Amino acid sequence: MVSFISENFDLARAVEQDKQLINSHLENYLKVGQPKTLWKAMRYSTISCGKRLRAILSLESARICGGNPENVLPAACALEMLHAQSLIHDDLPCMDDDDFRRGKPSNHKVYGEAMAVLAGDALLAYAPQVIIEHTPDSVDKKVLFQLINEFLHAAGPGGIVGGQAVDIQSENKTIGTGEFDYIITRKTAELFKFALRAGALLSGASNEKLDVLTEYGKKIGYAFQIADDILDVEATLQELGKTPGKDSKAGKNTYVSFYGPDKAMRDLEDLTRSARELLINNNINSSLLIGIADYITQKVKK
C-alpha cells in the first residue's frame, strides 16, 4: 500500500501534539461549575481517553488552508462535546444499552440515567456557546453564522440525531441500500465532514479546496464507521473500549451484517485509498490527513 506520507513525518507525534492542545482547551471550557454533579458528568465523558480525531482534523484543515489553528480550537472542542453527547445518549438503556465506553463505565453507570440524559443535553446546548463566545473577534460574523448553522445541522435531525433515529427504527428489519447509506452518512460521516469544513471555513479557504476537504471528510467518516462495524465483530472489550458484538445481538444493520465481512474490508480499503488519492490529485499536501486514512484501515488489520 502506498502511503504518500512524508518520509520524516511522525503521525503519532503530530496527533499527540494536537491532542494535548485540544485537551488543554477542553479543560478550560469545562471547568466544574454549578450544579457540580452535572458539570462532572459532562466532563466525565468529554475529558477522557478519546482520540480527538475529529477535532484534530479541524486543526489540520485550517493549516492546509493557510489559517491559524488557534481560531479553530473553540469549534474543534465544541465538536468533541457534541461527539461526547452522542456517546452518552447512545449508551443509554433505551438506545444501544452499553455499560462501557472508551474502556470505562458509561456515563449512566456512574451518574445514573437521568443525569446522563441531562449531561448530554447540557453538552449539546453548551457546545455552540463555546464557538460563539471563544472564536476570535477577527473571524467574519457571516462565517461564524455559517459555522454555527452547519454545526447545528450536523447535531440535529439532518445529522447524527436523524441517523440514530433511523438506526433504531431499522433494528431487526431488512432495509434497502439507500436507507442503510443514510444511517452511516448521518450518524457518523456528518461529524467528520463538519470537522474538515470548520477548519476550512475559519481559514478563508477557496470553494475548490473547501469542496475537496468536504469530500475527504465524507469518505473518511464513512470509512470510520465501516472499520467500527468490523471491529465490533472482531475486537475485544479492551481493544474496542465498549462491549463487542452488541450490534449483532441487537439486530442492527451494520456494514458487516449488510454486506458481509469480505466486502466490508474491501470497501474500507477502497474508501481510504480514494480519500488519499483525492488529496494527492488536488495537490493537498498533508501527511496527517493521509496518515489518518491509513490508520483507519490499519487498525482493523492489527
In angstroms, rounded to a whole number, what is the distance separating the alpha carbons of residues 66 and 63? Answer: 5
Specify whether the backbone of 241 is left (phi greater than 0), alpha (psi in -120 to 50) or beta: left
Q: Identity (one letter) of the amino acid at 184?
A: I
Tens of each residue's pLDDT in the chain, 302 residues: 334 445 567 888 989 999 999 999 999 999 999 999 999 999 999 997 789 999 999 999 999 999 999 999 999 999 999 999 999 999 999 998 899 998 899 999 999 999 999 999 999 999 999 999 999 999 999 999 999 999 999 999 999 999 999 999 998 999 999 999 999 999 999 999 999 999 999 999 999 999 999 999 999 999 999 999 999 887 666 656 666 666 667 678 899 999 999 999 999 999 999 999 999 999 999 999 999 999 999 888 76
In angstroms, rounded to a whole number, what is the distance separating the alpha carbons of residues 82 and 93? Answer: 20
Contact between 83 and 53 (Cβ < 8 Å) = no
Retrieve residue 153's grid coordinates: 445541522
The full set of domains in the chain, from first to last, is 11-301 (1.10.600.10)
CB atoms within 10 A of CB 101: 24
- pLDDT for res 8: 60
The CA–CA distances, whole Å, from 166 to 171, 177, 230 equal 9, 13, 20
Helix (H) or strand (E) holding 274: helix 261-281
Q: Is it true that the peptide bond before 261 is cis, omega within 30 degrees of 0?
A: no
Question: pTM above 0.85?
Answer: yes
Positions of E strands within the chain = 100-101, 104-105
